[in-house]
């Protein structure tokens, strides 16, 4: 946490470089703000500084309705729908679409499948299934290059439901069989 004088100078200057770095809480109103809040600056004797919105709330302050400090930069709410897409990508990396549907993934995220597809189109430029397929192929290619596992085991570890689907996907993407791309050991 920065020292009081640095925080106070940034608050008075409404310095955007400190937005999200600390939060100003006003004892007399019970409200906490971002350093860039456009409201009239409170008296210095009535303020305290906190390193996070959660710390200010834990101390009993409520968020300002004008600057919305709970949506400070780099927080999940600040990132908006990108946060949802990032969570979905992490779940896909963990294999969420290897055995479940896009609808099940959307339910885990608390949104509808159509909305998830729209978010992926806007942020990623591909559907969740296309992303999952690409990630499976990347895993399979990495396993082909770095291991001597049998093809059936590579297909299983990469997230394919069957060896046949693995071979078909590989032939579609690379125009050849997986074994033809395997580096000699």
Q: Is 64 a catalytic residue?
A: yes
The helix/strand/coil state of 78 is: helix
Q: Is 7 a catalytic residue?
A: no
Helix (H) or strand (E) holding 86: helix 81-93
Tokens of 131: 């992303």
- Among candidate residues 33, 47, 116, 155, the one labeled active-site is 33
Tokens 């897409």 locate to 85
- Among candidate residues 25, 67, 137, 154, the one labeled active-site is 67
The helix/strand/coil state of 43 is: coil
- Among candidate residues 26, 31, 36, 37, the one labeled active-site is 37
Q: Is 33 a catalytic residue?
A: yes
- Among candidate residues 53, 64, 96, 132, the one labeled active-site is 64
The helix/strand/coil state of 48 is: strand
Say how far apart CA 180 and CA 47 lie, in whole Å.
68
CB 116 within 8 A of CB 106: yes
Q: Which residues are catalytic?
A: 33, 37, 64, 67
């Amino acid at each position: 946490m920065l020292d009081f004088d640095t925080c106070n100078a940034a608050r008075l200057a409404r310095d955007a470089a400190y937005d999200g770095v600390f939060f100003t809480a006003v004892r007399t109103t019970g409200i906490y703000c971002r350093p860039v809040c456009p409201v009239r600056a409170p008296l210095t004797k009535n303020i305290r500084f906190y390193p996070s919105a959660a710390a200010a709330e834990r101390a009993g302050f409520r968020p300002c309705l004008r600057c919305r400090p709970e949506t400070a930069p780099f927080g999940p709410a600040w990132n908006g729908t990108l946060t949802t897409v990032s969570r979905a990508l992490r779940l896909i990396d963990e294999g969420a679409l290897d055995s479940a549907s896009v609808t099940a993934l959307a339910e885990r995220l608390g949104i509808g499948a159509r909305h998830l597809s729209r978010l992926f189109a806007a942020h990623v430029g591909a559907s969740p299934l296309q992303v999952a397929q690409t990630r499976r192929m990347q895993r399979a290619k990495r396993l082909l290059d770095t291991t001597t596992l049998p093809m059936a085991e590579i297909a299983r570890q990469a997230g394919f439901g069957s060896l046949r689907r693995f071979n078909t996907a590989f032939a579609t993407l690379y125009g050849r069989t997986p074994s033809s791309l395997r580096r000699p050991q």
